[in-house]
Amino acid sequence: MDKITEQILQRRMHGLYLSRQCEDITQLSHELLGLHCWFHRNVVFSALIRGANISGWKTALTKTWVHHALHGVVYEDLPDLLTLHANREPLSDFELEVLRAMEDGVFSRAQFRHLFADRYDHGFIERAFSPWGGVFVGLAQKGLVAFRDMTSRDFDLISAEPTQTPKEVLPSLLSRYFSAYGPATLADAVWFFGLRKEDKKLLAQINLDEYARLEYGGSTYYYVEDGANMGEIPELTLLSGFDPVLVSYTERSAVLPPEYKRAVIMKSGICLPTIAVNGQVAGLWNIKKGEPTLEFFTPQPKRLKDAALDWVESIRWRTAGIL
């Protein structure tokens, strides 16, 4: 690893709380602009790895669609986080029907399918109440609904409608991104936020002079220089599934060596929990059927293998009965 790559990784691990701790899960989610939760257990893994208290985690965060995936977010952050993908089209008659049904106490997909079965054809019902989101994605992007809690498959009404435009919100979101995820490129920010074509143009209008920067590989990397001690890259780090340090950048080879990519990222897009040695992915870990599993891709010292197993066992113990 060359010196500039090492500097980039060192700053990222500091910003993403992989070389220091964040004890409050809501602070962690706020600073990281949400915690990825394709699987809700990854929010717990991510929090524990970063030193956060997970007491009350099921309701401490709100599970909904922000950026381009499901995240556990701080409720008060939702209006800003939803702005870039807000569906500003008027509610359809069907969406209004769904909201009225929720006002009357209908919250599960099974209830909705039964309620609308006689009014719409089977194919439409299956699409509208698909396990992948269906009608609720659009309503969530308007800030009108969210999952009932971090583990529930049912929905609740909320009131978190975006009140600003992308042009108004993007500068502050970009600042938060570079503060936590920097050094990062503008292409990384586009990827992270899932910016639409029309919103990419807004980046060109933002004054970037406030950010520190470094040039590497023909790209400009931006970050916030706050004078903090970056600390060292840990010799051993556990990473959650869909860990921010892996999925938040267009170029991830510094952390995920290309030869291990297929072992870590499934064809379905699922990103598995991994073990990093000196900042680079070197194996997989998980908790399956209540038991810790561990697999290094190459031989490692016994002390590292023992330390990794102890760490996974600690997470297994702390999550027993809550996942």
Helix (H, G, I), strand (E, B) or coil at 247: helix
CB atoms inside a 10 Å sphere around CB 157: 12
The rounded distance, in Å, linking the Cα atoms of 24 and 308 is: 24
pLDDT at 322: 84
Contact 108, 154 (CB under 8 A): yes
pLDDT at 165: 93
The rounded distance, in Å, linking the Cα atoms of 78 and 15 is: 21
CB neighbours of 295 closer than 8 A, spacing ≥ 6?
Answer: 283, 284, 285
Environment class of 269 (CB within 10 Å of its CB; exposed 0-12, middle 13-18, buried 19+): exposed
232-247 per-residue burial string, b: 16 or more CB within 10 A, e: under 16: ebeebbbbbbbbbbbb
The rounded distance, in Å, linking the Cα atoms of 23 and 47 is: 8
pLDDT at 211: 97
The rounded distance, in Å, linking the Cα atoms of 61 and 223 is: 27
Q: Using CA of residue 236, residue 239, residue 244, residue 247, what is the dihedral sign?
A: positive
Token output for 161: 């409608």
Q: What pTM did the predictor assign?
A: 0.94
pLDDT at 309: 97
Token output for 37: 């939760």
The rounded Cα 91 to chain-centroid distance in angstroms is: 28
Length of the chain equals 323
pLDDT at 7: 95
What tens-digit pLDDT sequence spans the chain (323 residues)? Answer: 899 999 999 999 999 999 999 999 999 999 999 999 999 999 999 999 999 999 999 999 999 999 878 999 999 999 999 999 887 889 999 999 999 999 999 999 999 999 999 999 999 999 999 998 999 999 999 999 999 999 999 999 999 999 999 999 999 999 999 999 999 999 999 999 999 887 888 888 999 999 999 999 999 999 999 999 999 999 999 999 999 999 999 999 999 999 999 999 999 999 999 999 999 999 999 999 999 999 999 999 999 999 999 999 999 999 998 87
Cα(first)–Cα(last) distance of the chain, in Å?
37
Q: E strands, 210-319, where?
A: 212-216, 219-223, 236-239, 274-277, 280-288, 291-296
pLDDT at 86: 82
Helices of type H across the chain:
3-15, 25-31, 41-49, 57-60, 78-83, 93-103, 109-116, 122-128, 135-141, 166-181, 186-193, 197-203, 244-247, 261-264, 302-319
Helix (H, G, I), strand (E, B) or coil at 78: helix
